[in-house]
Amino acid sequence: MSKPTIEEGIVKPGPAGLRYRIEGAAGNVVVTFVHGLAATLDVWEGQARRLADDYRVLRYDLRSHGGSEAADVPCTRSDLAAELVGLLDALGIERSVIVGHSAGGVIAMQAAVDHPARGAGLVLVGTASECNDKTAAWYEKTAAKARESGGAAALRAMGMPEGSPAPDGPGFGHLALAMRSLNADPLTERLRSLDVPVLIIVGERDFLGVGGSVILHRAIAC
């Protein structure tokens, strides 16, 4: 069996060019992977390797992460969702199953409710549709650390392993504040309108705990 073709490039659907990698046959169902804060598209390498024979697998680096350009401008969750949809547009993809981890799961959910025609399904991994005051304060503290001391310092404050790819400090701070908005503007109620299959995955030792996934399940299953 021949290896799936791999295409890499940069697309600019917003203020920053986004590095993407897509592999698999053009006619297959598209599965798009969205990483969380302080990660890159490489975290999905194992999943891409397993799926690329049967699906068209798209991965990309969020703005200010990995090989994508930095963007020292404020952003909302809807801005980040629009960048995902803009990437799909640039690659000629009408619909995709969207897999998101942590903050990537928030972006996946936001894209699903803002652009319902574009999602064929959702896989939500260790993520949440709302956050309490404690988590909101953590996002705020992380954003301040990133702006003042840079991305590497913010990662150390987050307790990330040594050697984790450091994001651009100011840009990372803006993304953290976008996630903080789940405190005042949760997604939970809007998820009740979803009309696509949803798979929720959570580890019992996940940093965020299982509570957010329980809330997600109750909202979507009702």
Per-residue pLDDT of the chain (222 residues; tens, 9 = 90+): 567 789 999 999 999 999 999 999 999 999 999 999 989 999 999 999 999 999 999 999 999 999 999 999 999 999 999 999 999 999 999 999 999 999 999 999 999 999 999 999 999 999 999 999 999 999 999 999 999 999 888 888 877 777 677 889 999 999 999 999 999 999 999 999 999 999 999 988 887 778 899 999 999 986
Q: Which of 146, 165, 203 is nearest to 40 (CA)?
A: 165
Residue type for 124, please? L
Q: Which of 55, 60, 4, 61 is nearest to 30 (CA)?
A: 55
Contact indicator for 123, 201 with CB cutoff of 8 Å: yes
**Does the domain formed by 6-221 have CATH 3.40.50.300?**
no
Query: Residue-wise over 148-174: b if at least 16 C-beta within 10 A, else e?
Result: eebbeebbeebebeeeebbbbbbbbbb
Q: How far lies 180's CA from each of 147, 185, 205, in Å? A: 15, 9, 22
Q: What is the pTM of this model?
A: 0.95
Return d(Cα 188, Cα 212) in angstroms, integer. Answer: 10
